[in-house]
Amino acid sequence: MASIPLLRLSVPLHHRRSTALLPPHPLKTAFQPGRLPQLLLKPTTTTKTKCSYTPTPAPDRLISAAAYFLPLFNGLQYGRFLFTKYPVLATPFEPLLPLLSLYHSVPYASFVTFFGFYLGIVRNPSLSRYARFNALQALVLDVLLVVPVLLQRIITPGRSGIALKLTAWAHSGLFVFVVGCFVYGLVASVLGKTPYLPLVAEAAGRQLD
């Protein structure tokens, strides 16, 4: 049987010279035995970001907290149905009775206090926006409390029947809403946070902007 001659592949001379002149591959040189990769030896730098926090000044907190007492004083009248049915609910408001008596003993105290907050705080550019916003929120809430009184004078509900029940439910719901807004606004103001009262915050923000 005739043997098949083996073919010898030869690389051209010019190709040998060109490959011999090429520089070594960087990965090949980096991962040589006994040598750590240069990428691992490069120092890494970390960037630290410092966040600055400016606490709310104490006078602004005090003004904001005091402003929410105005709608509370004018909104306690809507809790008479709840106080009659559940007398224990009046217990948390007993410490405020001397201040309430003084407030209602002054003629037109509600109007004087309202315009005092509006002209002295809300329209005072020397005060911070935080104090002005909270004061304006309290005033807007106080204005909303006048609407049920006007409606009650226009549409006089009866002293019995379904009309009286609807009035009691409406007043009780409004009282719970006012107390909730008062607690939320007071706690947030003491902590230096900005409270956003429902139905009130958007209107107050537009007035300041």
pLDDT digits (tens, 9 = 90+) for 4-51: 444 344 444 444 444 444 455 444 444 454 444 444 444 555 545 444
Q: Is residue 52 part of a domain?
A: no
Averaged pLDDT of the chain: 79
More confident position, 120 or 46: 120
CA atoms 162, 83, 97, 115: torsion sign: negative
Residue 191 half-sphere exposure toward CB, CA atoms < 13 A: 9
| Predicted local confidence at residue 84, as pLDDT | 92
The pTM score is: 0.70
Q: Is residue 86 part of a domain?
A: yes
CB 209 within 8 A of CB 202: no
Q: Is residue 68 part of a domain?
A: yes
Q: Is residue 2 part of a domain?
A: no
Q: DSSP for 44-100, please give it.
A: P-----PPP--PPPHHHHHHHHHHTHHHHHHHGGGGHHHHHH-GGGGGGGGGGHHHH
Residues 41-81 have pLDDT tens digits of 445 555 454 444 578 899 999 999 999 999 999 999 999 99
**Overall residue count recorded for the chain in this entry:** 209
Q: Is residue 180 part of a domain?
A: yes
| Predicted local confidence at residue 17, as pLDDT | 45
* Structural domain harbouring 77: 58-206
**How many distinct structural domains can be found in the chain?**
1
Q: Is residue 126 part of a domain?
A: yes
Q: Is residue 46 part of a domain?
A: no
Give the type of residue at 91: T
Give the separation between CA 76 and CA 179, rounded to whole angstroms: 8
Q: Is residue 115 part of a domain?
A: yes
